[in-house]
Amino acid sequence: MRQHSNCVGEMTIIVLSLLLALCYASPRQERRFPDDFLFGAATASYQIEGGWNADGKGENIWDRMTHTNPDVIKDKSNGDKAANSYNNYARDVEMMRELGLNAYRFSISWARILPNGLANQINEPGVEFYNNYINEMLKYNITPMVTLYHWDLPQKIQDLGGFLSPLFPEWFEDYARIVFQRFGDRVKHWITFNEPCEICFEGYGSSAKAPILNATDVGTYMCAKQLVIAHARAYHAYDKDYRSDQGGVCGITISVNWYGPLTDSEEDKFAAEILRQAKWGIYAEPIFSEQGGFPKEFVERVAKNSEEQGYPRSRMPEFSPEEIELVRGSADFFGVNHYTAVLISATEHKHWFPVSSLYADADVGMYTLPEWASSASDWLTFAPNSLLNSLSHLRNKYKDAVFYITENGWSQAGAGLEDDDRISYYRSALNNVLDSLEAGIKLKGYMAWSLLDNFEWMQGYTERFGLYEVDFESSEKTRTPRKSAFIYKEIIRSRTIDPEYEPPTRTMWIDEGH
């Protein structure tokens, strides 16, 4: 009996081993992106177009700053020529075809359409340029996704107060209406503003972006209110006067990096929430929340700090009941620009900031783990599952929201076609996209940043985000695909992520049928 029992036991082990072997040997089920999921790439007008004063274009705040104060740019460069997409737009569309993109997100230069920013003078050559660009995309079934404002404010508008002027929402609506009128018969995806925090905090509340106003105490919050009201006015203009004929959607793009607690303590969890409110909540809450207005906890913190600092009222302005109603619900989708993560502490890893400023109001510590890989950008590290964490948080907060990833990418220092770090980053992020889709998040598309190397703002041309390398020294601004371009092309073609895929060649190509 003992011997028979052993045989049965051994046979059971063999059968189980065979079953396990079959399980591991069988190919795992591939996760696929939906057929209607939009794969694209993104750029911004000042960063790629060049032609800074061509054919009637007006001066913008980056033209003024880089020409009068070039030392603020790391390599003292500017966007006067950039990648010269003003003359190379057909080549850019050819690159989109090479990649097999479904969509392309780009921005319109306000000053190229309205040279002085005001609606009394329309620059027809500027309109013609964007018409040609859009038509070239549509010829090859590439969906244009247009951003009305990506940081390049007309200098005349800045001279009149820029985002701090009470008339700014009116001026922006005038501009938006002209763009809707001229391009809305073909453009069905509109984004009003790109990254409000970077506009308001970095441009008005510090010196990290043009116009480097550095109004640290009130600039960020005054700008925030004016911006979301301007967004709402443009949205309602589209909804009331253009949507029925043009049939498009209009949203906003907000930078949502993941701010998670350093520990599981309630203090760190609250500190992370405060920074989320400070960095993106003051723009998202007025539009997407049920109650509207600025986020409650951060409003209370700024008011308390303002009183202690001797201000007669809070440095954060209030919304009137009418303004709350105007802004609340004024978006068809939430565009998410996501790159990285930072861990937040209530007590540790704090740095000095100007007393009356956004970071001082938040009063939290920030930390990145040393094992997270670093890019060429000091703010960008490879934090696992940061995109999934961000999207999950947003979905839980704004339950009916539709999302697009409108930027996501990785920087390298200088030229080079072999970019395995970028490939690892993209594969990880796109696996997070699949995770999000499987979790039921209403995510409709993904735009890689960037289609090609560009003028990277204060870093000039020292940091490169492009799927295509640009030879900025050549008169043609020659574009060459990096290894990541081939990887992204295969993901789009197959609608899957193969971690083992290696492109067979590194030569220029155009597939049949494109």
**Do residues 154 and 56 make contact, with C-beta atoms less than 8 angstroms apart?**
no
**Residue whose token pair is 């993941």:** 258
Report how far residue 454's alpha carbon sits from residue 464's, in angstroms, rounded to the nearest whole number. Answer: 7
User: Is 170 labeled as catalytic in the residue annotation?
Assistant: no
Report how far residue 153's alpha carbon sits from residue 189's, in angstroms, rounded to the nearest whole number. Answer: 21
Residue 297 burial (CB < 10 Å; 0-12/13-18/19+)? middle
Find, among 73, 248, 65, the residue nearest to 148 by Cα: 248
Report how far residue 215's alpha carbon sits from residue 222's, in angstroms, rounded to the nearest whole number. Answer: 10
Report how far residue 51's alpha carbon sits from residue 366's, in angstroms, rounded to the nearest whole number. Answer: 40
Report how far residue 387's alpha carbon sits from residue 337's, in angstroms, rounded to the nearest whole number. Answer: 10
Angle at 240 between CA 234 and CA 241, to 5 degrees: 85
**CB-facing half-sphere around the CA of 404: CA atoms within 13 A:** 30
Selected catalytic residue, list 49, 98, 136, 195: 195
User: Is 195 labeled as catalytic in the residue annotation?
Assistant: yes
Selected catalytic residue, list 407, 456, 463, 469: 407
**Do residues 462 and 456 make contact, with C-beta atoms less than 8 angstroms apart?**
yes
**Residue whose token pair is 């079953």:** 19
**Do residues 171 and 227 make contact, with C-beta atoms less than 8 angstroms apart?**
no
SS (H, E, C) 23-75: HHHCCCCCCCCCCCCEEEEECCHHHHCCCCCHHHCCCEHHHHHHHHCHHHCCC
Helix 124-139 with 85-99: angle, nearest 10 deg = 10
From residue 47, how far is each of 160, 244, 453, 479 by CA, in Å?
Answer: 24, 33, 9, 15
Three-state DSSP at 260 gives strand
Residue 337 burial (CB < 10 Å; 0-12/13-18/19+)? buried
Other beta carbons within 10 Å of 392: 17
Report how far residue 148's alpha carbon sits from residue 145's, in angstroms, rounded to the nearest whole number. Answer: 10
One-letter amino acid for residue 307 of the chain = E
Helix-strand-coil split of the chain, %, nearest 5: 45, 15, 40
Residues with catalytic function? 195, 407
